[in-house]
Amino acid sequence: MSTTINDLHAFIDALPKVELHVHLVGSASVPTVLELARRHPGGPVPTGEEELRRFYEFRDFPHFAEVYQAVNALVREPEDVATLVLGSARDLAAQNVRYVELTVTPHAHRLVGMPPAAVTEALDIAARRARELHGVQMAYIFDVPADLPGDFVGGTLDQALEHPPEALVGFGLAGIEQARAGHTDAIRDAFRAARAAGLRSLPHAGEMTGPETIWEVVEGLGAERIGHGLSCVRDPRLVAHLRETQIPLEVCPTSNVCTGQIPDVASHPLPRMLEEGLFVTLNSDDPPMFDTTLTGEYRVAADTFGLGRADLAALARNAVTASSLDEAGKRAINADIDALLAA
């Protein structure tokens, strides 16, 4: 049995991957966060490794959001932004990730006084360096953070339209879902403008709320992919709609456990989603904060839910299909997945 598991883990390690749901600040490795904390001391983020790991033990989602914002406050200069992008690219390259859509929260950088144009310049430079140094193609999603102060909708849209990085592909919506109440019209208007400008609609929904939040992003925001979508299985009509439309779901099992959305990985609805014929991709969300990796999420799918090589390869292909890669890029990665499966 152990030989079989080891062989499957080796297959997962070698599997060419695409990461669609990972946050810039949440992707920061422990050494990177320690570097930033020491560069900008005096805040609540610990400067020692063991203390930082304890800092990452979350009670619930609001506590996670509080910790996330504390780490985010360490990103104060354009150089800090570039440090995060390159660290993410390095870590993903080690997992044979070829392409990543990295979620950036420009409003958070605006709140600490970074000019939008400077943030965009740092993102552009870092994307080029990531390709040169690590062989990873970076794309960006700008997300609206409904739980941050100020004009989080208008500020995010302005940067997406007036100062977009070269690799900007999508417009997202994240943060505490309950905080969206009262902002529905503004969020809808912003997504309408972003889509008119050619950006894809890529919001989070159904992570910490019920199916009604998923219906809102589908019907109100024209969602082309949905981050998490965890609660969809509670609504048979929604499941049927997602099966028919094949809107991709960005599933992040370990994240959902760490933020208290489910009690343990075995309780995750991933197997049910697959049985229902939904379009599922695997993702890591905020990997160092949750002590996981994208490779680790594939191992969870194999070890906990019994997925084999063909199933895992299908999930990897799903991520390629759901991505914003051009067709030549998609064909190249799929060809490598097929070659590995055949071997």
The answer, yes or no, to whether residue 278 has pLDDT greater than 90, is yes
> 1: pLDDT confidence band, cut at 50, 70 and 90?
very low
**Residues 6+ positions from 58 with CB-CB distance below 8 Å:** 64, 67, 258, 259, 260, 289
User: What value does the mean pLDDT take over residues 111-133?
Assistant: 96
Residue 252 and residue 285 in contact, taking contact as beta carbons nearer than 8 Å? yes
The answer, yes or no, to whether residue 100 has pLDDT greater than 70, is yes
CA distance 242 to 303: 26
Output the 3-class SS for 120-133.
Answer: HHHHHHHHHHHHHH
pTM of the model: 0.93
CA distance 264 to 205: 20
Angle at Cα 320 formed by Cα 317 and Cα 324, nearest 5°?
Answer: 160
In the DSSP assignment, the letter for residue 24 is: T
The answer, yes or no, to whether residue 3 has pLDDT greater than 60, is no
| Sign of the dihedral defined by the CA atoms of residues 295, 299, 305, 306, in that order | positive
Q: Which of 70, 194, 72 is nearest to 140 (CA)?
A: 194
pLDDT in tens, 294-305: 999 999 999 999
Would you give the end-to-end CA distance of the chain in angstroms? 21
**How many helices and strands (H and E) does the chain possess?**
16, 9
- Could you tell me what percentage of the chain is helix, strand and coil, using 3-state DSSP and rounding each to the nearest 5? 55, 15, 30
pLDDT in tens, 166-225: 999 999 999 889 999 999 999 999 999 999 999 999 999 999 999 999 999 999 999 999
Q: Domain residues of the chain, as ranges?
A: 2-342
| pLDDT for position 209 | 96
In the DSSP assignment, the letter for residue 294 is: H
More confident residue, 308 or 175: 308
Catalytic residues: 207
The CATH class that applies to domain 2-342 reads alpha beta
User: What value does the mean pLDDT take over residues 129-142?
Assistant: 98
Q: Any idea how long the chain is?
A: 343
| CA 187 distance to own-chain centroid | 20
Cα dihedral 279→194→102→230 (10° resolution) = -40
| pLDDT for position 121 | 97
Percent over 90 (pLDDT), the chain: 77
| Sign of the dihedral defined by the CA atoms of residues 72, 74, 77, 79, in that order | negative
CA distance 156 to 145: 9
The answer, yes or no, to whether residue 73 has pLDDT greater than 90, is no
User: What value does the mean pLDDT take over residues 315-337?
Assistant: 98
